[in-house]
Amino acid sequence: MKNLLIILGVSLSLCFVTADNGGNCKLEMYAGPSEWKDMVNSCTALVKGQIQLEITAAMHYLAMGTHFSRDVINRPGFADFFFKAASEERQHAIKLIEYLLMRGELTQDFDKLIQLSEIKVAVNQNTLTPIDALKEALKLETKVTNSIKRMMDACEEPKTPEDKDKNDYHFVDYLTTEFLDEQYKGQRDLAGKVSTLGKMIKKMSGQNGVLAEFLFDKKLLNGEI
């Protein structure tokens, strides 16, 4: 209790010193040293854009997972697959945020980092089939991968005149090890699933095409495919 009172007293003292005319406590922002911050603005801007893209992908997967969870669809395997994919994309965004923080970025305007109002998710709840969802996911992952590669090119050899000699090899290496390997494996996995499900549907043509989706969903839920 004594320690709590001491802390409270110090806090009130600090607040009194930095209070504005209305008596409101203000937090004085400490600028800190900046010599160690060497990430160029053009590269930082691309990372922020990538974070937005990762969150957008997560929202798309979340919508797909919700679609297949509905009782009128009831494909728990696909629902679980896309919910996990949404979590992975969200984790990618967190990794990029953590990297920017490690490099001394996001010291201001971090509340504007993710613009949810700009995220448009269009999932046709009447016509979206499992194989269509897998194809859309593959296109989305390819888009994310290409965006990462463009970001790597731009950060390794900045094109702006003032930054052209500031090669960010560390960030490029980070993206290669933490992102690209997973992206390529994920694309291969999705392509394989599209191929397998497509062959099953073709083999079980007509009304049995629904049976192919049902069997694929069960294997997906059990981690067999």
Q: Which residues fall in the annotated binding site for Fe cation?
A: 54, 89, 92, 141, 183
Q: Are 148 and 175 in contact (CB under 8 A)?
A: yes
Instruction: Round to whole Å and give the CA distance between 79 and 66.
Output: 7
Q: Are 153 and 180 in contact (CB under 8 A)?
A: no
Binding residues: 54, 89, 92, 141, 183
Instruction: Round to whole Å and give the CA distance between 38 and 169.
Output: 12
**Nearest CA-CA partner of 171 in 158, 184, 160:** 158
Q: What Rg, from alpha-carbon coordinates, does the chain have? A: 24
Instruction: Round to whole Å and give the CA distance between 83 and 60.
Output: 10
